[in-house]
Amino acid sequence: MENVSVPKSFHPFSTEHGWAILTGAAILTALILLGKKGGRCRQFATGTLAFVSLAAYPLGQAAWLSLDADKSLDNLLPLHLCDIAAITGGFALLLRKPLLASLTYFWGLAATMQGLLTPAITVGFPTWPFIMFFVHHFVIVGTALYLPIVEGWRPKQPFWKSPLEVYGWSLGYLAFAMIVNRILGTNFGFASHRPPNPSLIDYLGPWPWYLVSMSVIALILYLLLALPFAGKRAGK
């Protein structure tokens, strides 16, 4: 029989998890600082974030296909919220559309940040899926920070307007994910069951009540994320 190597399992809050967080944070800090310098440095930083954001899904697919493991539709279709947030982030940097920037900012810091802290991944370093998981999630968070810090994006005023707008899009995504999950037997948005790894969802009650809890927490986080911009006019 052919000897097929089994990828090392990933364990949240392990040493490799910590190193992934530190490495990603250092790279994002460097890109933001480059962006703040302006000129060609800013062009490089913006272009890098936009390219990685838009390439995250296809590169992630290539990474998963490199493993000799079961391929599920959950990993093959770009319908997780983080897949969509990466796309909105890339186009927000290229097109400078306020709605795309709003979606990226609130989704990135309220949702994708949770994915970095409690990753829904089963394979560890040095597999390509492990690397691309953190690249994918860090580029969303990085873009969410880059838009207000470097690009001058600001939420609409009054401060609660953009959070409510993004909340409406979030509820629309949740409804869409539940329909797709029902048809395909998938778990996009974790709307059908909890992720396999420990996460905040474990403390929000059984299905479907944890979806209600998630929706309430999302609205609270959106409002809190908008508070630092209260009374500030939109930038570029």
Query: Could you say which DSSP state residue 77 is in?
Result: S
C-alpha R_g of the chain: 18
What is the maximal distance between C-alpha atoms in the chain?
67
Gap between the Cα atoms of 154 and 148, Å rounded: 6
Global pTM value: 0.91
- The residue whose two tokens read 């048809």 is 183
Identify how many contiguous H helices and E strands the chain contains and give both numbers. Answer: 9, 0
In 3-state terms the chain splits into helix, strand, coil percentages (rounded to 5) of: 70, 0, 30
Query: For every one of its 236 residues, what pLDDT tens digit does the chain have, with 9 covering 90 and above?
Result: 444 455 678 887 889 999 999 999 999 999 999 999 999 999 999 999 999 999 999 998 888 887 766 567 887 889 999 999 999 999 999 999 999 999 999 999 999 998 899 888 888 888 888 999 999 999 999 999 999 999 999 999 999 999 999 999 999 999 999 999 999 999 999 999 888 777 888 888 888 999 999 999 999 999 999 999 987 765 44
Gap between the Cα atoms of 11 and 13, Å rounded: 7
Contact by Cβ (8 Å): 141, 159: no
